[in-house]
């Protein structure tokens, strides 16, 4: 089975070709135009998708060394995401499936961040059902009980900002360019995670909150900069390490509670923030520390990519869950 997958939910145009559960190609065109605006500009994003989609798909096919005629199905991201961005991918996928007369498969982007673990990769194990997924990305922070490929329940989620936003907004306070998450990670690796303490939010149950942390960081920085204008540049590593440490503790506290409540000890992480080196090490260490089995995705399947859309497409192909051209994109989508 050859699946062409298209992902265009936010600001990256991505295409991948899978042969069953193996990735033959995984191409991403990042839209750097948003950096100067400090966030994704929806109108610019959809326009850039229009420019990128044909070259990106052609590159994916070429890299996989297959022709369009050999494809078994086309999978695309139905949502959630920016409507103008989603429409570019869905329209293209619909047209191509009609032209080639092959099945069309709609994929939930958040399912894909979780099910990326089912891509066949040397050195990476696949979780068995049921497992817990911690999805940490630019728009979501969720603990999901995954019973089967398409049977998932959200058992905890953020009540305000997503963890990716917590990273990006903290970075902005520090004067770092957008998206700041990877930069916080980079500086954090050189700093002392216990240098500064930030209070953790008190949210009942398995839900999260990150907006209070952002405000605490803002007030802390304002106070310190008033005392010493060079405070940020002199302490950037320690500040980033401390912020990252606090975020990781918030996530780990909730994961521990989720394990206690569900009795499930298999934990998979997914989403852009699972690229974070501190989170990756902490999760791996949790195997020894708590007796969990943890799954950390291959780096290229953390931030938005089409390979993860392709693996869900493959599972839906096997289940024969197909759409016709009347399928609509959804900016918000429930599980």
Give the binding site for ligand ATP (CB under 6 A).
9-10, 80-81, 109, 113, 137-140, 164, 167-168, 179, 181-182, 185, 271-273, 275-276, 303-304
**Shortest CB 164 distance to ligand ATP, Å:** 3
Question: Tokens representing 31?
Answer: 């839209």
CB distance 183 to 176 below 8 Å? yes
Q: Could you tell me the CA-to-CA distances from 295 to 127, 231, 279, 283, 291 in Å, in that order?
A: 7, 38, 12, 8, 13
Binding at 276: pick from Fe ion, ligand ATP, none (beta carbon under 5-8 Å per type): ligand ATP
Residue 167 binds which entry of Fe ion, ligand ATP, none, CB below 5-8 Å type-dependent:
ligand ATP
132 versus 176: smaller Cβ distance to ligand ATP: 176
Q: How far is the CB of 140 from Fe ion (least distance, A)?
A: 8
Q: What pairing do the DSSP bridges indicate for beta strands 131-136 and 12-19?
A: unpaired
Specify the residue, 140 or 254, whose C-beta has the smaller distance to ligand ATP.
Answer: 140
Using CB under 5 A, pick the residue from 11, 121, 304, 323 that binds Fe ion: 304
Query: Measured between alpha carbons, how far is 150 from 136 in angstroms, rounded to an integer?
Result: 19
Q: Does 161 bind Fe ion (CB under 5 A)?
A: no
How far apart are the C-alpha atoms of 152 and 132, rounded to whole Å?
10
What does 39 interact with, of ligand ATP, Fe ion, none (CB < 5 to 8 A by kind)? Answer: none
Q: Which ranges constitute the DSSP H helices of the chain?
A: 42-64, 83-100, 109-115, 163-173, 181-188, 211-227, 231-262, 277-290, 307-318
Which candidate, 243, 311, 303, places its Cα nearest to that of 269? 303
Is 7 a binder of Fe ion (CB under 5 A)?
no
Which CB atom, from 70 or from 249, has the smaller least distance to ligand ATP? 249
Which letter does DSSP use for residue 272 in this model? G
User: Segment 119-138, which members bind Fe ion (CB under 5 A)?
Assistant: 137
Any known ligand binding at 181?
A: yes
> Which residues contribute to the annotated binding site for Fe cation?
109, 113, 304
Site residues (vs Fe ion, CB under 5 A): 137, 304
């Amino acid at each position: 089975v050859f699946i062409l997958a298209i992902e265009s939910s936010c600001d990256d145009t991505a295409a991948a070709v899978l042969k069953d559960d193996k990735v033959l190609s995984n191409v991403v065109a990042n839209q750097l135009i948003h950096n100067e605006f400090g966030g994704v500009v929806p109108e610019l994003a959809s326009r850039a998708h229009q420019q990128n989609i044909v070259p990106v798909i052609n590159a994916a096919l070429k890299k996989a060394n297959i022709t369009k005629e050999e494809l078994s199905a086309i999978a695309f991201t139905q949502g959630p995401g920016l409507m103008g961005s989603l429409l570019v991918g869905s329209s293209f996928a619909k047209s191509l499936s009609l032209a080639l007369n092959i099945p069309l498969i709609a994929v939930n982007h958040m399912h894909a961040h979780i099910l990326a673990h089912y891509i066949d990769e040397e050195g990476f194990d696949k979780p068995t059902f049921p497992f817990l997924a911690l999805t940490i990305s630019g728009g979501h922070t969720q603990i999901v009980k995954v019973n089967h490929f398409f049977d998932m329940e959200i058992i905890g989620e953020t009540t305000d900002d997503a963890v990716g936003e917590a990273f990006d907004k903290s970075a902005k306070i520090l004067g770092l360019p957008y998206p700041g998450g990877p930069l916080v990670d980079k500086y954090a690796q050189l700093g002392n995670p216990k240098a500064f303490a930030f209070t953790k939010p008190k949210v009942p149950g398995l839900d999260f909150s990150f907006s209070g942390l952002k405000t605490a960081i803002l007030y802390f920085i304002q106070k310190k900069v008033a005392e010493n204008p060079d405070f940020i540049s002199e302490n950037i590593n320690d500040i980033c390490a401390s912020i990252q440490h606090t975020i990781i503790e918030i996530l780990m506290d909730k994961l521990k509670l989720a394990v206690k409540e569900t009795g499930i000890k298999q934990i998979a992480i997914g989403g852009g923030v699972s690229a974070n080196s501190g989170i990756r090490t902490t999760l791996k260490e949790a195997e020894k520390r708590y007796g969990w089995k943890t799954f950390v995705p291959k780096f290229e399947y953390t931030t938005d990519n089409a390979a993860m859309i392709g693996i869900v497409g493959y599972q839906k192909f096997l289940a024969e869950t197909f759409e016709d051209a009347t399928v609509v994109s959804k900016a918000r989508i429930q599980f």
